[in-house]
A and B are shown apart, each in its own frame.
Chain A
Amino acid sequence: MPTPSPVLPCPDCGTPLLSVSPVGHCPQCLVRLSLLTEEEMPPTPPSSSTAPWTILEDYEIYEELGRGGMGIVYRGRHRRLARWVAVKVLRGGELADAKARRRFQAEAETVAQLQHPGIVTIHDVGEEQGVCWYSMELVPGRNLEELVRQQPLDAKAAALMVQDIAEAVAHAHQHGVLHRDLKPSNVILDAEGKPRVTDFGIARRGGEAAPTQTATGQMLGSPGYTAPEQGLQGLADARTDVYGLASILYHLLTGRPPFQGPTLDAILVQLRENEPVPPRRLNPTVPRDLETICLKGLARDPGKRYPSAQALANDLQLYLTQRPILARPVSLPEQAWRWMKRRPFIATLLAVILLVTVAAFILIDQARRQELSARQNESAAKILAETRSRELDQANQRSRDLLDTTDLERAEEWFRTSERDRGLEILGKILRRTPDHPVAGPRLASAFWHGGVAMPVLWPIIEKEEILKLFLLEQGKSILVCTCRGAVLRDAESGQEIRRFSIGDEYVSHFILSPDGSHFCAWHPNPNGKLFHWKVADAELVFPPLQHPGWVHVASFTPDGRFILTLGSEDEAHFWDAATGEESLPALQHPGPLFAGAMSVDGTLAATSMNGTIFLWELPTRKLRCMLPPFSATVGQLAFSEDNSLLAAGSFAGEVGVFATAKAAPALWKGRLGSEVSSLQFSPHATRLLTATKAKVTRLWKTQEGDFLGRVMSHEDEVRSAQFDPAAESFICTVSSDGTARLWDAHTGRALAQPLQHGERVNAAVFTPDHHTLYTAGASGVVERWNILPSVPRLWHLAHQKTVTSAVWSPDGKQVATTSDDQTTTVWNAQTGTAMVSNKHRSVPSFAIFHPHGDGLLVASEAAGARLKALTPGMPNRATYALEAGGRQKCGAYNSDGSRYAAGTVDGRFYVWDTRTPEAEKLLFAPILPHKPELSAITVQFSPDGKRLLTIAASGAEDEHPYEAKLRDAETGTVLGELNGHSDDIYGGSFSPDGALVATAGNDNTARVWNGQNGQATGQVFRHHASVRCVAFSPDGSLLATASTDHQCRLWSLKTGQLAAPIMLHQDQVHQVRFSPDGMRLLTACADGTVRLWAVATGLALTEELPSPGAVSNATFSPDGQRILVCSQDAAARIWDVPNFPPRPPDWLVDLTEMLTFADYENDQAKILQIVSRYQQTLNAIRDEPAASPWRSLAIRLLDRGTPDPKD
């Protein structure tokens, strides 16, 4: 505060100088100075090396070189030594007291002793007027931050650079000096381009927290690079510097710090809660290993980082020499790939697999290949023979059986995961060991037939660079292969180059295609990055590369292709004229930088995200429609539904939400995934939402409810994208850093086909419009082309609007009838899957049954009773009729010739009609009334001879007599016997094929067998651990199958009363069981939506679990036993082909299995030679499978893709 002084006038302006004026100054003059505008200020003299600003001890101080949180660096010159130096003056406040200054001196002297080529040397340390300073080498080059401002470093250069820095830091650590503020701007490149670390440790008070902060968020440190323990708790040790080194690596690879935010708080919150965005997301060319090293160094928990800077340097060295890094265990496919890479000769041979496959399409040098094959065959066959004989010696028959069964179980376990290739591999091994195994062959056939398979096709395309994106153009006739150096247009059949789109030395990583496929753009998200826009037709840039301000995260063509929308680190979303590159539409203004964006399909809406907030824009007017309730973390993904009514959003924290776009309203639902959402896609009609995450997991959601749909689709590493096939009905394809692309069922998420191996990470996948072919590509630079065998499983998909309530085969198996809650009955052609007749009813039909003659369909509905309708115009000898019962018919049955029809109603009454009277129906006897009013009919069945009737009514109530099950005379209704013995409700019953027995399924955990004439208990009781839901007699009447909610199906011998086969186990309650007409196979239906076929003889599974989206309510064999009809609780019934493959498959099946799974190829050189040499032979063998062979159908399917895929 000023002190009193006498009043004097100002010598310049004469104003009296008051006692409270600033000491020695005239306030008027000071104000006048301060009032000057910028222009009126005299210019600051240009800094000149000839005029030092001031003097600091022996140093002349010249202009400032830079400022940081800790102080200011000046250019200085030692007066006596005439040496140019950099002088850093530390902020006085940091070293306020003498003790602190002494400590600084001591520490600086320690640092001054560090002599390392990677460390900027300190010359002098001093203090003046309480201000500490030191002088150091003047390194004139750029710092690393400046170096990567325009473009990230190449991965190898970055790794080399950080390795050097890490070694310098390790040297310091050995001398007990921590840096504590490692960041790109603290590393300067010297004249040789070598990195030199500066600002070592001394700016920080010994052992205490380095960065301090102000309340506004100005961090006197380096927030984006600070380790969490340092930034949040003020702790630091060697691992803190490891974090700093990794953050430098991160910056070099991506051009930005690991964490960014508008305020310090924003950064600190991220530091505490988020993981850094993986570098490859920002720069897809970063190799996976280098990313792993980087992220290990950036681990939030110091214990999970490299223990020392040297350890980091060592791992970088391993990476640079292409050896496995220590950062993590290496997965199998990767080991294999590495093994190949280190053995170029073998790798070349393996590459031949790609070139040779399905070579019928392409001509290549046959002679040379054959020569090669012959040579390799010789040695391979020898090794194989030895192996085989050894195996035979080792195992006797018995132990082999046991081994086979155990292996089958193991295979089934793998089939339930996404590692289907492991299951295939095991089946292949079993068949090598036991070629005539009763089940392994058919099971393997089903794995291909029902589980699908992707057959690699010749596609001799190998680019020099990593492939980042693929587009199919001209209806799949050509393919655009995009790499960081541009793109190449190739013929989709021959692979020949049509056109090349070059960008010189520039670098791109993101690509978009215009809606009509005539143009495409490429860019890289870095500051001031360029956006290239080409016309596909002539390889000319439409306009010079667009110099975009800021980072572009998202670019998108408008639906009419006239504009390109870009958004990113700026506050605005820009619209560029696609023809001129001019910004011709006003930008969408936001209060902060953007991250994600999406445009609706019709181009009327756009959604943008800024942190967790989503903005919804009306594009025609450019008005903000609304802001949607925010997410807790940055929204990184946005997607509109096809009809624009819904918007899906996914955040870095794994939140997923769906919003109605009509107005600002809370999300229809919000769900949560384990980690950052990496992609989002609606199915057409928006019934399903597909989400992929960084945490290896892809999931389907029900769009309306927000519930998960189907299974978890998992990879072994980050999923880079997930997409539906073009119709979203058959496949989901995911591509991952684990080196595979994978296919999944589009409705249930079940794994299909084998994982498509690439060895290195897969970045892109694209389906042909018919989704029969898939192209995949990634880091290896190879474009692989796969023929996807129609998952053919679902041969036909019989769709209704609402739940299908029943589905039956016609007696000849040529038609199928379905009833649905949508009040329709439809008759389908079972050969083509087309609807032949569809009737709309006034009320919901309960069920439909074909007349035993097959020419009429009887439909029971509430309003109209049961009506028989003619299916052919001149239905002979019978008119149509309507059979009205007193209540809604719940079950009904014809006798074998159709002369009688029996029905049971919801109120427990049973009726029998004589249907032969041409004009009207006739009840044979008065309705049979239940004893208790709450009973409801569940089964009515004629005995095979038609003389007796089994009637079962149940209540579901807990009661002494909860059910009524009776045998009656079919003509008079007289009771012949009562089936009394179950202690609880029963679910149904059935006559044996000869009518001598009746079996019932009870809620008392038993199935019971009764005399079919008089209903007396035979005493045979078959037990489960839980309720028995269904019973079935084998066609020969010797076996009884029981299905239970204990997840089991059991097969009993009626002769012995013992189990006739091992227990058949499902993953959930088994609700139904049926025998195939030939009695060889069992069909079970499970509450988890799967059905499955089993071998009666062995109790082993013959097929995949065949999935439906809902629980299965009914499943039946077609009369010929070659197909099954599945009615599940979604709006469809499905027909599956279930060919009866015999044991002992042809050799080509096992060969193919080994080739597709690369069984053992990672360690067995001979095996690889064998695979390569046999590949063509195998394909030929498949083609030559005899027409009469039961395996012919599979062969045809493998080569020609078989029948067209069902229309869904």
Chain B
Amino acid sequence: MKSDASTAHKFPAPVNLAMGSPQFMTTRWTMVLAAGTDGPGRDAAMEQFAQAYWYPTYAFIRKRGQDAEMAADLTQEFFAQLLEKNWLAEVDRRGTRFSTLLLNILRNFLVDEHRRETRVKRGGGQMTLSLDLVSAEGWFGAEPQTDESPERIFERRFALAVLSSALQQLGTDLRTAGRGRQFDALSAFLSREPGRGEYDAAAATLGISTNAVAAAVLRLRREYRSAVRAEVAVGLVDPQQVDEEMRHLAQALST
């Protein structure tokens, strides 16, 4: 008699439509990645993607010596082309890290001498990113003045973008799930332990007990962890590689 637990659950369960936060995330990604899919859904997803990841691109281009205006133009153009040419198609089922892939695409894009001319002809592309040039230059100006290569900077900024994006996404998802107030009150405790009385204050805000707040924070941390992992896991053929991606992420952030 066979009672192997590993196979016992393999029969298709009734279609499970439950979607946890990571799946919301995946949804957005897959919208971006879907080749041949048009429509507002994809554009919106791409917009979201670009908002999350434009700065690493901008920093990379600036670091390679372009002036602010040109870097802004190229960044705009890059994301427009990314969408139009469906360059991200290979992200799906990728074998390499996502940041490496994106960087390669970016390099190829920049190497192409004709980009600038075509950019002029195309009148800026279909999608217009609302880049906050002032902020961009502010942030870029605050970058440590080191001899780090543009690639290194890109990797680090990319890693930060992943963390930010996951945080933002988690917030969106929880608001959607009716837990927006909880997120607003408790997300501060994702990366740090509470100070004295902070949980009590949150409990008062939320109208629940302090113990319930502590439990909610734990839950929130789990959810954030899942969100980050989902963000890096996109398109990985082998889910085992997520841990590797996470280590790279940590490495890129270490000084």
Binary flags per residue of A377-395, CB closer than 8 Å to B gives 1, else 0: 0000000000000000000
Cβ B142 vs Cβ A55 within 8 A: no
Q: State which residues 48-106 of B face A: CB under 8 Å.
A: 51, 55
Q: How far is the CA of A366 from the CA of B102 in the complex (A)?
A: 94
Query: B7 an interface residue at 8 Å Cβ cutoff?
Result: yes
Query: B197 an interface residue at 8 Å Cβ cutoff?
Result: no
Chain A residues positioned under 8 Å from B10 (CB to CB): 549-550, 570-571
Query: A582 an interface residue at 8 Å Cβ cutoff?
Result: yes
Q: How far is the CA of A527 from the CA of B178 in the complex (A)?
A: 35
Instruction: Pick the residue among B8, B191, B229 that contacts A30 (CB under 8 A).
Output: B191
Cβ B218 vs Cβ A570 within 8 A: no
Question: Of A62-70, A831-839, A918-926, which binds chain B?
Answer: A62-70
Cβ B1 vs Cβ A33 within 8 A: no
Cβ B15 vs Cβ A131 within 8 A: no
Query: B201 an interface residue at 8 Å Cβ cutoff?
Result: no
A587: nearest chain-B partner, CB-CB: B7
Measured CB to CB, the closest approach of chain B to A152, in angstroms, equals 13
Measured CB to CB, the closest approach of chain B to A148, in angstroms, equals 9
Instruction: Pick the residue among B17, B27, B218, B228 that contacts A67 (CB under 8 A).
Output: B17
Chain A residues positioned under 8 Å from B157 (CB to CB): 20
Binary flags per residue of B211-254, CB closer than 8 Å to A gives 1, else 0: 11011101101101100110000000000000000110110011
Measured CB to CB, the closest approach of chain A to B230, in angstroms, equals 10
Chain A residues positioned under 8 Å from B31 (CB to CB): 214-215
Q: A20-B139, A582-B2 are in contact. Are A218 and B181 (CB under 8 A)?
A: no
What DSSP secondary structure best describes chain B's contact surface? helix
Query: A551 an interface residue at 8 Å Cβ cutoff?
Result: yes
Total interface residues on B, CB under 8 Å, equals 74
Q: State which residues 92-125 of B face A: CB under 8 Å.
A: none
Q: How far is the CA of A961 from the CA of B158 in the complex (A)?
A: 99
Chain B residues positioned under 8 Å from A549 (CB to CB): 2, 7-11
Chain A residues positioned under 8 Å from B247 (CB to CB): 35
Q: How far is the CA of A54 from the CA of B208 in the complex (A)?
A: 7
Binary flags per residue of A962-998, CB closer than 8 Å to B gives 1, else 0: 0000000000000000000000000000000000000
Cβ B26 vs Cβ A54 within 8 A: no
Chain B residues positioned under 8 Å from A569 (CB to CB): 11-12
Residue with the greatest number of chain B CB neighbours at <10 A, chosen from A11, A87, A218, A572: A218
Binary flags per residue of B139-181, CB closer than 8 Å to A gives 1, else 0: 1001000000000000001011101100100000001111111
Chain B residues positioned under 8 Å from A93 (CB to CB): 176
Cβ B17 vs Cβ A222 within 8 A: yes
Cβ B17 vs Cβ A220 within 8 A: yes
Cβ A51 vs Cβ B178 within 8 A: no
Q: State which residues 1-45 of A face B: CB under 8 Å.
A: 1-4, 7, 10-12, 18-36, 41-45
Question: Of A286-294, A409-417, A539-547, A1032-1040, which binds chain B?
Answer: A539-547
Chain B residues positioned under 8 Å from A45 (CB to CB): 214-215, 218-219
Q: A4-B139, A25-B167 are in contact. Are A128 and B181 (CB under 8 A)?
A: yes
Query: A436 an interface residue at 8 Å Cβ cutoff?
Result: no
Instruction: Pick the residue among A21, A41, A223 that contacts B225 (CB under 8 A).
Output: A41
Binary flags per residue of A555-578, CB closer than 8 Å to B gives 1, else 0: 000000000000001111010100
Query: B133 an interface residue at 8 Å Cβ cutoff?
Result: no
Cβ A25 vs Cβ B191 within 8 A: yes
Chain B residues positioned under 8 Å from A133 (CB to CB): 178
Binary flags per residue of A82-118, CB closer than 8 Å to B gives 1, else 0: 0000010101110000000000000000000000000
Measured CB to CB, the closest approach of chain B to A857, in angstroms, equals 69
Query: A307 an interface residue at 8 Å Cβ cutoff?
Result: no
Q: How far is the CA of A23 from the CA of B215 in the complex (A)?
A: 23
Measured CB to CB, the closest approach of chain B to A256, in angstroms, equals 8
Query: A216 an interface residue at 8 Å Cβ cutoff?
Result: yes
B232: nearest chain-A partner, CB-CB: A34
Q: How far is the CA of A551 from the CA of B11 in the complex (A)?
A: 7
Known A-B contacts: A21-B160, A543-B1. Give 12 more (CB < 8 A). Answer: A12-B192, A23-B167, A27-B160, A30-B191, A33-B191, A34-B163, A34-B228, A35-B247, A41-B222, A42-B218, A129-B180, A185-B14
Question: Top 3 closest A-B pairs, CB basis?
Answer: A550-B11, A89-B178, A215-B34
Query: Which residues of B approach A to under 8 Å, CB–CB?
Result: 1-3, 7-12, 14-15, 17-20, 23, 26-27, 30-31, 33-34, 37, 42, 51, 55, 132, 135, 138-139, 142, 157, 159-161, 163-164, 167, 175-182, 188, 190-193, 206-209, 211-212, 214-216, 218-219, 221-222, 224-225, 228-229, 246-247, 249-250, 253-254
Q: List 16 contacting pairs A-B, 8 Å CB cutoff, sorted by A.
A: A24-B188, A32-B250, A66-B18, A74-B178, A89-B176, A93-B176, A128-B181, A129-B180, A131-B180, A133-B178, A216-B27, A549-B2, A549-B11, A550-B12, A576-B2, A582-B2
